[in-house]
Structure 1
């Protein structure tokens, strides 16, 4: 038990800044399409989380 249950390490501030920028850009687009905002916000949050995990696990991203 506990195998694979460990939370991934939090991404560095650089990655967080990029994710914040990406979400901010999506939010600007959502203003034009308020009907889709709820669905897109959920999708963006999920995809951003997945992206963060992928980039945190890849060693090439940690070099810079």
Structure 2
């Protein structure tokens, strides 16, 4: 169960760590999306990038909840 992470006496919320992990995953996925021809033709790519972040964050939270690492 991860609620807070202690780094040198400073407590960092577990949700913040999860959000940063989702950001790193999304930043590694976006260049892979750019190789797709469909992604280049989308009218509003920042919205697609944001939705990819939301989906990645959701999937990461679901995985951590199933593993009972996050409540």
Task: Report which of the two has the higher share of helix.
Answer: 1
Task: Indicate the structure (1 or 2) with the bigger Cα radius of gyration.
Answer: 2
Task: Report which of the two has the higher share of strand.
Answer: 2
Q: What TM-score bracket applies, with the shorter chain setting the length?
A: 0.3 to 0.5
